[in-house]
Amino acid sequence: MTQEKLYQIALQFALEGEIEQIRPLGEGFINDTFVVQTKGNAPDYILQRKNHVVFPDVPAMMENIWAVTEHIKTKVADPMRETLTIVKTHDGALYVEVDGNFWAVCVMIENSLSYDRATTPELALQGGVGIGRFQAQLADFTQPLKVVLKGFHDIRYRFEQWDATLAADPVGRKQEVAEEIEWIASRREEMSNFWALVENGTIPTHVSHNDTKISNILFDKTTGNVLCAIDLDTVMSSTSLNDFGDAIRSYTNTGAEDDPVLENVSMSLDMFRAYTEGYLSEQKSLCQTELDWLAFSAKYITYEQVLRFLMDYIDGDKYYKIAYPDHNLVRTRAQYKLLCSMEEQYEDMCAIVRELSK
């Protein structure tokens, strides 16, 4: 993308001030992101190309983000810093489409920072505060949200994909991973029973972020306090437990997601306690059923990830980017080790939730 083209796209939005330069931001694994730097006292902006392959309905995504951020603005003291501010085009649209690509703009929150990993319990606690606060701010949000990713965290949908992949065995790998396939089969009923509680409404649905790694929490650079949750592309209606479970999978792992040395991988109970404490300090609206299943959600999301990595390996590595031929199998085994560690410590996890939710 040339600078001239980026300028043409940026100028379609109702920006304050004159553009000084546009520069790349981050590595762009899913979206391509740029900083639009302006002259004088005008704010800077984030210009982003939304990946319409991963997100096939970008207009619906942008409608969700607009609705959620506008709601949060009514709940906070500083609306320009405590949630994203979407900038519309001169025609009042939430995005522009150029050569089949969708572009959107938000105001860059100055004097802020994010972290790639939660390396201490103190940081894990703050991450929990960020997601707990995000959910609490949206507890009374009643507007229907669009589905931007079909079957996201829906294990029934994943099992349909799984069964089809096993039946096809497109690259002939199924036989070599018989043990790993049994890992999935042995827990299938347990995971299906949990999701049935979501489907029948026993576990209620709310607005969920659906991508709760710590890099999606923004902090004030001066005070260190949580500012807001960012990267709202996956915001949809689902169980709040998805957000908790995905965060625990991310925050508590003592190894890497694709760690080839399985001895490195376990769930840190200290990190679990810290994140749970931060989360429950803000999220006060969970019903007793949600609290009862909160710790289980970590097992559920981790199991789903084991399934998805193994399914992609059997399918010939079509979804996840790989760095070497058996990368997805290494990911599968590392995530399974994390799941086993959660299972071993599950009673302690439940006890921590009970203690902190009193």
Q: pLDDT tens-digit profile of 305-338? A: 999 999 999 999 998 889 999 999 999 999 999 9
Is 29 a residue whose pLDDT tops 70?
Answer: no
| Confidence band of 272 (pLDDT split at 50, 70, 90) | very high
88: exposed, middle or buried (Cβ count in 10 Å: 0-12, 13-18, 19+): middle
Are 280 and 356 a contacting pair, CB within 8 Å? Answer: yes
- In CATH terms, are 3-110 and 121-356 the same topology? no
Contacts of 122 (CB under 8 A, 6+ apart): 274
Nearest CA among 157, 67, 139 for reference residue 290: 139
Reported as half-sphere exposure (CB side, CA atoms, 13 A), residue 101 has a value of: 15
- At 217-246, the pLDDT tens digits run 999 999 999 999 999 999 999 999 999 999
| Confidence band of 27 (pLDDT split at 50, 70, 90) | low
Calculate what percentage of the chain has a pLDDT beyond 90.
92
DSSP state of 99: T
Domain spans in the chain, listed from the N-terminal domain onward: 3-110, 121-356
Work out the mean pLDDT of the chain and round it to a whole number. 95
Nearest CA among 303, 137, 131, 143 for reference residue 217: 131
Is 28 a residue whose pLDDT tops 80?
Answer: no
Mean pLDDT, range 184-188, rounded to an integer: 98
Question: Which CATH code of 3.90.1200.10, 3.40.50.620, 3.90.550.40, 3.40.50.970 fits the domain covering 121-356?
Answer: 3.90.1200.10
- At 32-67, the pLDDT tens digits run 899 999 998 999 999 999 988 788 899 999 999 999
Question: Which CATH code of 2.30.30.30, 3.30.200.20, 3.40.50.10280, 3.30.70.2860 fits the domain covering 3-110?
Answer: 3.30.200.20
